[in-house]
Chain A
Amino acid sequence: MKLIINKKEYNVPDSYGEKRLTDYIRDELDLTGAKNACQMNACGACAVLLNNEVIKICHVLVKDAEGKEILTIEGMENPDGTLHQLQQAFVDAGAIQCGFCTPGMVLTAHAFLMKNPKPTREQIRKALQGNLCRCTGYQQIIDAVEMASEYYRKN
């Protein structure tokens, strides 16, 4: 079967079909941005986009992602290799401490801002309520998403 990850096609042996998608991309493809933090679909550290929808992939099997466009944090940068404006906003707002939740947080915010480029802070909170962070206290994460929303409005 085929997986499309960050616009690149991967031929995946059928024997991997029953493997968790997190384990597969981490162990076999070395895409380690998605983290194993709770493995029960709760914390959001493994969140990636499947056809632009946020999915916590610790509960997705490889075979169920077949044919879908997968975006992981490794595919988030601009084509010229610079940071995407949302990534830059996380850096600038001081929204990162240990960084373990960051990839899932950025991707969740990305999916949200593509749908709602003019959010209130309340809406940002609602969109990110499935992603846990133990370090930051979230305030600067909300700031970062708010900062980046301008870019989504323009593009």
Chain B
Amino acid sequence: MLLHESAIKQVTGEAVFVNDMDISSEMLTGHVVYSKYAHAKILGYDLKQAKALSGVYAVLSYKDIPGENQVGPVAKDELCLAEDVVTNIGQAIILIAAKDKNTALEAEKLIDIKYEVLEPILEIEKAIEKNTLIAPVRKIERGNVEKELNKSKHKISGVLETGAQEHWYLETQSCLCIPGEDRNIKAYSSTQHPSETQAIIAEVLGIKSNEVEVEVRRLGGAFGGKETQANHIAAWSALLCNATGKPVKIHLFRDDDQIITGKRHRFLSKYEAGFDDEGKIISYSVELNADAGSATDLSMAILERAMLHADNAYYIPNMKVIGKAYRTNLPSNTAFRGFGGPQGIAVIETVIDKIARYLGKDSVEIREKNFYKKENDNITHYGEKVENNRLQVIYEKILKSSEYRKRRLEINQFNSENEFEKRGIALTPVKFGISFTTAFLNQAGALVNIYKDGSVLVNHGGTEMGQGLYTKILRIASLELGVSEEKIIVNATNTSKIPNTSATAASSGSDINGMAVKNAIDILKDRLASVALELLGSKSQKENIIFENDFVFDKNKPGKKILFKELIPAAYLKQVSLSSTGFYKTPDIWFDREKGVGNPFHYFAFGMAVTEVLVDTLTGYHKILRTDILHDTGDSINDEIDIGQVVGGFVQGVGWCTTEEIKWDAKGNLLTHSPDTYKIPTIQDIPADFRVELLKGYPNPNTIRNSKAVGEPPFMLAFSVWLAIKDAISVVGNHKSEPEFSLPATNEVIVLAVEKIR
């Protein structure tokens, strides 16, 4: 019951990923030739030699695209294959299908692309200077920020840089396309968004969506990196499949994946805050500048979520958030766990931390002072009321369970006795809005089939990428239909079963797909209840029929039961349909972008973390000594899976906050393009003492089985590590001077901050 539905297959090596599929000896390897320049004119190339190489089946340029040369998911500003200009290193120019990888690489050597190099924009500062805005400036404002700032007794201001982040899913981007009858094509894609992948394959091939079938059984990790980026690989694979009439598989080499695909958006944020003697923030102004990369992709939605999370867990009466996204000559940045939330929250957490140092108080006091309250001070800067607020209860519990105050004193003692090794501690909260902020995306479909033997096949539109969605859906279906899990299979996600789905993203996978499955089951139960009444010889109402533990009975006469598997064939003989679609749309959410006002979220998820670190101030090396997390998942559908999400999300956040530094050279070449230069957390980097708990006894109203989304929010609890490091650095100056700090806090950042204070 608690197991991940694929665990046994995964632990025996039987679980099949796209690159494990070997469907015919005819299958070809697809390969992409990409730009070596960040900004250049393509003067020309000759494909004749490459085409003539033995074992090469197709060499394609943009001229060979039968449909539209476009893969932009929102704005149509992203070419499938470059035409006369390239705008980032890694941009696809030529596609090759060959009998194997080596032949494709040989063919690539025979293609000499002539460029005229142009000047690239590689820094946000330069993009701001050149004003390369990708869309109009966005604003959310409440109160009178300037007036209140001027009136404030205390003020701080500053600039914060937060870095990019590479997804580093273990399974690189992959897609296998198989030609079908007529113009049809079937794609096995490692995508988080099967319906969009389907639509884009149809567009580049110039065919209709009903001629394309996309199937996804499982992904080897995604984290947002396969929400739109998988579309490119699928489109390339489909073009090669279409051109050769043979199955074509693309599985990107790790370095190519890192060079080609977009990352978490770098932000350069400018802030100013006014506050009183107690540290209560009266007015806050922040400008968020995002590096969108070379195309729009999801940048405006990501920027929007950053703006909507600029408050994090704090009520600020006067607040202004300006959002700008700039075009640069880097690969188009994209979705990544948190989707802008972390970038917005990093700034306000910095502000809180600085206020504490400025006033000489412990930062937990400042946080508590500013938390959203229950009765008043509970409206966000965009006008949504913070309902079912769990901040105070989590704060009180974790302060106690982590022994924060006692440890603070112990840390002070340690620091006074040690010259070069310093300890730091920080408590940080997260309040994260759940729903796609583009309201219409909050919809999901399901298809539930019951077969004559009583077995059940559940289809839904979400993708399984390790987060445990299928396991949760299985549990939901089992509980809602009253049939044991052994009799139910959750099918591979397929666009011919469930059309027009939204991406499995925004932490909403089980929320919306679970509800759609419930809707289908409710329809089936209503039909079956009539049959059950007859079989039970009852004159009762349909509503009284209960489906539970593989039995069906009237709740007023629980002594008389029939087996579910006996009810089903009886219903079949009575010509009752045993299949139903289901649908769900999240109720009552809206957002007016022009006015910056609305109710964009169905609810909020809350959590807090307390982290203690040890920093060697000479080398910048740090170690996480202990982390306590208390996270709110409502009535969890599966505790084990939710804890896995909290731990995994937190550690991924720790990577972003500490070791995961992305560097480009002056020409825009990615210098950190493999695991020996790009450092995701290893097993040695997690907290030595790691205590994770879910908040119990607080059901979430109006969601599937009172549960809560969990995928993204814990990522932001990693700020406790980042600010604990800053706290340790701050000890060097007796907490009197503000350390110069940015994100990630690499050894280099730490050492420089320490030296500056000394």
Contact = CB atoms under 8 A, between A and B. Distances in A.
Given A90-B7, A138-B683, A43 B647 contact: no
Contacts of B223: 134
Given A128-B683, A138-B683, A100 B651 contact: no
B218 interface: yes
B674 A97 contact: no
Contact of A97 (B3, B14, B467): B467
Contact of A132 (B7, B10, B640, B675): B675
B682 A132 contact: yes
Interface residues of B, number: 57
A1 interface: no
Interface in B429-471: 465-468
Contacts of B221: 97-98, 100, 134-135
A94 B16 contact: no
B168 A134 contact: yes
Contacts of B9: 99
Contact of A39 (B12, B171, B218, B253): B253
B675 A138 contact: no
Contacts of A137: 644, 647-652, 681, 686
A89 B334 CA distance: 36
B interface, over-half SS: loop
A interface, over-half SS: loop
B684 A129 contact: yes
A37 B12 contact: no
Nearest to A142: B683
B680 interface: yes
A129 B683 CA distance: 6
Contact of A37 (B22, B172, B690): B172
B19 interface: yes
Given A36-B19, A42-B674, A98 B218 contact: yes
A73 B9 CA distance: 11
B22 A99 contact: no
Interface in B634-684: 640-641, 643-644, 647-652, 674-676, 680-684
A51 interface: no
B53 interface: no
A73 B682 CA distance: 22
A18 to B, nearest CB: 11
A31 B66 CA distance: 38
A149 B649 CA distance: 27
Contacts of A31: 13
Contacts of A142: 683
Contact of B22 (A30, A34, A128, A132): A30
Nearest to A141: B683
A155 B174 CA distance: 41
Contacts of B3: 91-92
B170 A134 contact: yes
B627 to A, nearest CB: 10
A42 B672 CA distance: 14
Nearest to A125: B683
B176 to A, nearest CB: 13
B674 A103 contact: no
A39 B675 CA distance: 10
A92 B686 CA distance: 21
Interface string A24-61: 00110011111111111011010000000000000000
Contact of B675 (A42, A102, A128): A42
A134 B643 CA distance: 15
Interface string B65-80: 0000000000000000
Interface of B: 2-4, 6-17, 19-20, 22, 167-172, 218-221, 223, 251, 253-254, 465-468, 640-641, 643-644, 647-652, 674-676, 680-684, 686, 690, 692
28 contacts: A35-B17, A36-B251, A37-B171, A40-B676, A83-B12, A87-B12, A90-B11, A91-B3, A91-B8, A96-B6, A97-B648, A99-B218, A100-B221, A102-B10, A103-B11, A103-B13, A131-B683, A132-B168, A132-B675, A133-B683, A134-B221, A134-B223, A135-B466, A136-B648, A137-B648, A137-B650, A139-B692, A140-B643
Given A99-B466, A134-B169, A137-B686, 17 more contacts: A37-B170, A37-B171, A73-B11, A83-B12, A98-B221, A98-B466, A99-B11, A99-B218, A100-B170, A132-B682, A134-B170, A134-B680, A135-B221, A135-B648, A136-B648, A137-B648, A137-B681
Q: In the A-B complex, list the 8 residue pairs whose CB atoms are closest, starting with the nearest.
A: A33-B13, A98-B466, A99-B10, A137-B651, A100-B220, A97-B466, A73-B13, A137-B647
Interface of A: 26-27, 30-40, 42-43, 45, 72-74, 76-77, 83, 87, 90-92, 94, 96-103, 106, 125-126, 128-129, 131-142
